Amino acid sequence: MSDVYAQPTTGTEPAATCELARYTTLRLGGPAGRVVAGTDADEIVRAVREAGERDEPVLVLAGGSNVVIGDAGFPGTVVLVRSRGLQVVDEDAATVTVRVEAGEPWDDLVAATVANGWSGLECLSGIPGSTGATPIQNVGAYGQEVAETITGVRVHDRVDGTVGRIAAADCGFAYRSSIFKYSDRWVVLSVDFRLARSPLSGPVRYAELARALGVEVGDRVPLADARATVLRLRAGKGMVLDAADPDTRSVGSFFTNPVLDRAAYELLRERAADLGEPPSWPCPGDMVKISAAWLIDKAGFGKGHPGPEGTAISGKHTLALTNRGGTASTAALVELAREIRDGVHRRFGVTLHPEPVLVNCTI
């Protein structure tokens, strides 16, 4: 069976069969064979088990902000994750641990942590999606990653049929990845986060955010200031959902930032010598992370670059590929993604890889 787990948007609850475009931020995707909703962990597990008993493929979908679904749709059962809620499960003078249901909207959780004076998620404000999706690709932005605060993930194990907890150390967290991302074994039911009791953010690590806050990298700022500034920066890049803004009809960043070994990095520097130093960040193991947005732009694909059939690069950020409406299709979006990937490789010898989960489509 082929299972994937994707991030959410809000949407009308399902009919028996429907176009999956209504559940994705791209507003693209063909029909589902069958759609059911789970409003708590038991319902989600039951829906997945029953589909397995019918020998149907399963797509676990909490709404669709990090998934690209093919025009042919998905022939099996789509399980919509609609569970909600969070509770404090442990606390002491310095920290609090909250358990959050998989379907809880991510930004609602971040807003609640900021309001309660719990530090650790504030720089992840404005990311569309569900809480249960965040450990799957180790969501990160502006110098924070969820792996830094997750202590464990409660899952349904489809191999042995049990429900249990996987400790953070066993989740295989890496850059935009985990053991869950490309596996059909686990269905995320809830996530535990340990957060600091503090009115201040963690040390600001991201230079762009520090500049916007008027502080130095490493400084701390009030939680509300960090959240407001991140929301403003994301909105300026079309990365906060807005029904009136077609630039937000996307999956956010379509490509991950490439991580190169030292030899590949030096080769890139040679090929980009006429363009100045590529923006980069050191990574463990003498690896170097490169800005995918810079590579795309310098390869000739600027903001607003048109693709086929009503698709285009966002007018606000080169990493976002958008559905401008009209005749747009998943096939057209994938064609645009291939054009960009191949153009970057020709110019710089670097291969870009997609960040979203691809369902019945490929680049």
Q: Is 176 annotated as catalytic? A: yes
Q: Report the Cα–Cα distance between both ends of the chain, in Å, rounded.
A: 21
- CA dist 239 and 142 (Å) reads 13
> What stretch of H or E contains 41?
helix 41-53
Proportion of the chain in helix, strand, coil states, percent, rounded to 5: 30, 25, 45
The pair of three-digit structure tokens given for residue 342, joined into one six-digit string: 């191949």
Given the residues 19, 50, 309, 355, the one annotated as active site: 355
* Non-local CB neighbours of 138 within 8 Å, separated by 6+ positions: 145, 146, 147, 173, 174, 175, 176, 177, 178
Angle at 339 between CA 337 and CA 343, to 5 degrees: 120
Phi and psi at residue 122, to the nearest 5°: -60, -35
Residue type, 349: G
What are all long-range contacts of 40-43, with beta carbons under 8 Å and residues at least 24 apart? 40/83, 40/101, 41/83, 41/101, 41/102, 41/154, 41/156, 41/163, 41/189, 41/190, 43/83
Dist CA 89 CA 100 (whole Å): 10
Q: Is 346 a catalytic residue?
A: no
**Are residues 54 and 34 in contact, defined by beta-carbon separation less than 8 angstroms?**
no
Angle at 46 between CA 42 and CA 50, to 5 degrees: 180
Which residue is catalytic, options 99, 154, 158, 176? 176
- The backbone torsions φ and ψ at residue 271, rounded to the nearest 5 degrees and listed phi first, read -70, -20
For 205, how many CA atoms within 13 A lie in the half-sphere containing its CB?
Answer: 12
Which residue in the list 125, 130, 178, 253 is annotated as catalytic?
253
Catalytic positions: 176, 253, 355
